[in-house]
């Protein structure tokens, strides 16, 4: 007689692997790096299973009234990946491409990111499947408030703290804070970060992610004994992260030779005028309409001749198809998940020094942490204090990741995952298992 489930001494790992075979599935991108780092750490099977599973996945329907009076229903997600080190922390994204797998991957990345910079948060992420470009401000407000109400049990300064992400901004955070506060019957500023400064936001938060990118790029150039002055930089994405990274890198003496947005990019061998580009974009114009430079496509930007490439737009832009053509010596991942695992292997063979997303763009969550601390303390810091404390954390985290990578003769990405997983696993061991 045969049994349906014969005994096997082989541990059952990743039973759902078949669902994640696609190179561009972000959860697969996260998991393949996690697996590599977990193996290097000889993570025990029990913790391996715990850390590869999101703690909580919430799917909600978000009904709302269109301005026309019609009822529409969108889908919203919130995933809390791991809260062993502290409250969950993670942005909210409004985009047509939002999927549960993407939100899970982003929530996991937040967990590892907070551990890399050693701030006392776990990781979460949320999103609503919608196209903000085709919604009025009033419709966006109704969606935001209804989504907030739908996930309100998970939210709170001690449990889950959202922040802005793609297509959400400080105005959206103000609506979330207000909705939450109305339910609680008192004002709770620390329930979100990335708020307007006038209502409990932190000075320096808007610039923090781009500033962090600049700081780790400067450290990488120093480590590789390459000059900071005149280093040629190409930036994909000219929104919050990309434009500020470009501005601050230029201020350090680097030469920004190419930038792009979703309309395409501009290039100038001798260096672009970043301030003029920022003014251009502030007038709600696309870079494709900028006249003072040569034009190039987003695909061309990624393989342009430069020293530093900063992908600061989307996931999966550097893949097995174009990685071999990348000419940059350093990639600073401003975006979350811009490089696939297959591309990692090619970049490593070609000696490209990749500063991984969970380190490179951690400046944002670091100053979000400062904002949460300031809100809870009711005492606000000046911008220099914020920037100095951010610099200390980013430089120290870069050194710790680079040290881990050097000790294990691995790349910085796996070094960063090892550092993060080790920190999260240590807390799980100390806390033990609630049963």
The H or E element that residue 254 is part of is none
Bridge partners of residue 256, in order along the sequence: 233
Per rule CB under 6 A, is residue 237 in the interface with ligand NAD?
yes
The 298-317 site mask, x for binding ligand NAD (CB under 6 A), equals x-------------xxx---
Within residues 165-204, the interface with ligand NAD by CB under 6 A covers 165-167
Per rule CB under 6 A, is residue 140 in the interface with ligand NAD?
no
* Least distance (Å) between residue 230 CB and ligand NAD: 25
Q: Which of 209, 217, 366, 387 binds ligand NAD (CB under 6 A)?
A: 209
Residue 272's closest CA among 261, 251, 291, 256?
A: 256
Q: Which of 40, 49, 56, 262 binds ligand NAD (CB under 6 A)?
A: 262
Helix (H, G, I), strand (E, B) or coil at 308: strand
Active-site positions read: 125
Strand 255-261, strand 330-332: pairing: unpaired
Per rule CB under 6 A, is residue 240 in the interface with ligand NAD?
yes
Return the half-sphere exposure (C-beta side, CA atoms, 13 A cut-off) of residue 94. 22
Total Cβ atoms within 10 A of residue 174: 20
Distances (CA, A) of 277 to 151, 205, 255, 299: 39, 22, 14, 20
**Chain centroid offset of residue 229 CA:** 28
Cα gap 165→93, rounded to integer Å: 5
Q: How many residues does the chain have?
A: 435
Within residues 39-78, the interface with ligand NAD by CB under 6 A covers none
Is 327 in contact with 257 (CB distance < 8 Å)?
no
Per rule CB under 6 A, is residue 103 in the interface with ligand NAD?
no
Cα gap 18→77, rounded to integer Å: 23
* Least distance (Å) between residue 166 CB and ligand NAD: 5
Per rule CB under 6 A, is residue 241 in the interface with ligand NAD?
yes
Count of residues engaged in binding ligand NAD, rule: CB under 6 A = 23
* Least distance (Å) between residue 353 CB and ligand NAD: 20
Helix (H, G, I), strand (E, B) or coil at 295: strand
* Least distance (Å) between residue 349 CB and ligand NAD: 26
Within residues 339-378, the interface with ligand NAD by CB under 6 A covers 361, 364
Stretch of 125-133, 185-193, 332-340, 408-416 contacting ligand NAD, by CB under 6 A? 332-340
* Least distance (Å) between residue 130 CB and ligand NAD: 14
Positions that interact with ligand NAD (CB under 6 A): 165-167, 209, 236-242, 260-262, 298, 312-314, 334-336, 361, 364
């Amino acid at each position: 007689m045969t049994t349906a489930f014969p005994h096997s001494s082989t541990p059952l790992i990743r039973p759902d692997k078949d669902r994640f075979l696609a190179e561009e599935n972000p959860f697969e991108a996260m998991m393949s790096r996690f697996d590599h780092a977990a193996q290097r750490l000889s993570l025990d099977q029990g913790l391996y299973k715990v850390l590869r599973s999101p703690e909580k996945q919430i799917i909600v329907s978000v009904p709302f009234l269109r301005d026309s009076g019609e009822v529409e229903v969108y889908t919203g997600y919130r995933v809390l990946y791991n809260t062993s080190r502290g409250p969950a922390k993670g942005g909210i994204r409004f985009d047509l491409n939002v999927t549960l797998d993407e939100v899970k991957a982003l929530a996991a990345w937040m967990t590892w990111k907070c551990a890399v910079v050693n701030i006392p948060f776990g990781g979460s992420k949320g999103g609503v499947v919608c196209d903000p470009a085709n919604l009025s401000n009033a419709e966006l407000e109704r969606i935001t408030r209804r989504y907030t109400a739908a996930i309100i049990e998970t939210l709170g300064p001690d449990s889950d703290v959202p922040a802005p992400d793609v297509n959400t901004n400080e105005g959206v955070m103000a609506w979330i804070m207000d909705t939450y506060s109305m339910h609680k019957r008192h004002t709770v500023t620390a329930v979100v970060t990335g708020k307007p400064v006038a209502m409990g936001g932190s000075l320096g938060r808007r610039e923090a992610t781009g500033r962090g990118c600049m700081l780790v790029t400067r450290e990488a150039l120093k480590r590789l004994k390459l000059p900071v002055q005149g280093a040629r930089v190409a930036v994909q994405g000219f929104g919050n992260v990309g434009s500020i990274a470009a501005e601050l890198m230029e201020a350090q003496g680097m030469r920004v030779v190419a930038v792009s947005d979703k309309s395409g990019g501009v290039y100038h061998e001798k260096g672009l005028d970043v301030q003029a580009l920022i003014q251009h974009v502030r007038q709600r114009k696309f870079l494709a309409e900028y006249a003072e430079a040569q034009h190039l496509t987003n695909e061309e930007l990624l393989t342009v001749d430069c020293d530093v490439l900063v992908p600061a737009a989307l996931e999966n832009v550097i893949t097995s198809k174009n990685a071999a053509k990348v000419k940059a010596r350093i990639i600073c991942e401003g975006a979350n998940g811009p490089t696939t695992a297959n591309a990692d292997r090619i970049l490593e063979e070609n000696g490209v020094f990749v500063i991984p997303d969970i380190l490179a763009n951690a400046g944002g969550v670091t100053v979000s942490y400062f904002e949460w601390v300031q809100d809870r303390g009711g005492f606000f810091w000046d911008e220099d204090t914020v920037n100095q404390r951010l610099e200390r954390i980013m430089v120290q985290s870069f050194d710790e990741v680079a040290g881990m990578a050097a000790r294990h003769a691995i790349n910085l990405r796996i070094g960063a995952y090892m550092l993060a997983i080790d920190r999260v696993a240590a807390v799980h061991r100390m806390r033990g298992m609630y049963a």
